[in-house]
Amino acid sequence: MAKFYETITADLQEFISRQHMFFVASAPLSAEGHVNLSPKGLDVFRILSPNQVAYLDMTGSGNETSAHLTENGRITLMFCSFEGAPRILRLYGTGRTVLPDTPEWNTLVPKFTLYTGVRQIIVADIALAQTSCGYAVPLYEYVDQRETLIKYWEHHGEEKKRTYHQEKNARSLDHLPTPIGQTQAAKESL
């Protein structure tokens, strides 16, 4: 049975702290646009208050969430237990992208372990939390986090990462601009 909460209660915070991964969903306004759903691992998620969360967003092949948040702000985060008692938790809210070298970045980044390959921070203001049973979610045994992405960016370095951002992370699949792309365009227009 679903239960609804106006805040991320202490019980929900404790549940989140035990999960090894979470999922992020976002979508453009266009009905023809692509809905995005991304799994996230590593120790990147932080609860900032009972109604605000943030996560370090690692450099990857797409930047859909950031583009969708720039366009419309809608975001859903989901946690589900793969070990122990079944439970699903969804956090519904609005989000924004925080880029490096901004005052908000400088305020937020000390709350995280900073991994090589970090692209941006996603901050979400949570309006509603919902739990449901999770009875059909299979049981999996956690082994460890993968370090492949971190090692990749350690090997390739910051310059390659900046070039990758410009080439692969400036726009979404549906050609929506991301804050990285907007910052890049502003620099080029100077």
**Which pLDDT tens digit goes with each residue over 5-14?**
999 999 999 9
Could you read off the pLDDT of 14-71 as tens digits, one per residue? 999 999 999 999 999 999 999 999 999 999 999 999 999 999 999 998 999 999 999 9
Amino acid present at 26: S
pLDDT of residue 185: 85
Q: Are 141 and 34 spatial neighbours (Cβ–Cβ below 8 Å)? A: no
Owner of token pair 């915070």: 13
Confidence of residue 1 (pLDDT cuts 50, 70, 90): confident
| Partner residues linked to 92 by β-bridges | 76, 128
pTM for this prediction = 0.96
Exposure string for 40-73, b = 16+ CB within 10 A, e = fewer: bebebbbbeebbebbbbbbbeebbbbbbbbbbee
Domains located in the chain, CATH noted: 3-182 (2.30.110.10)
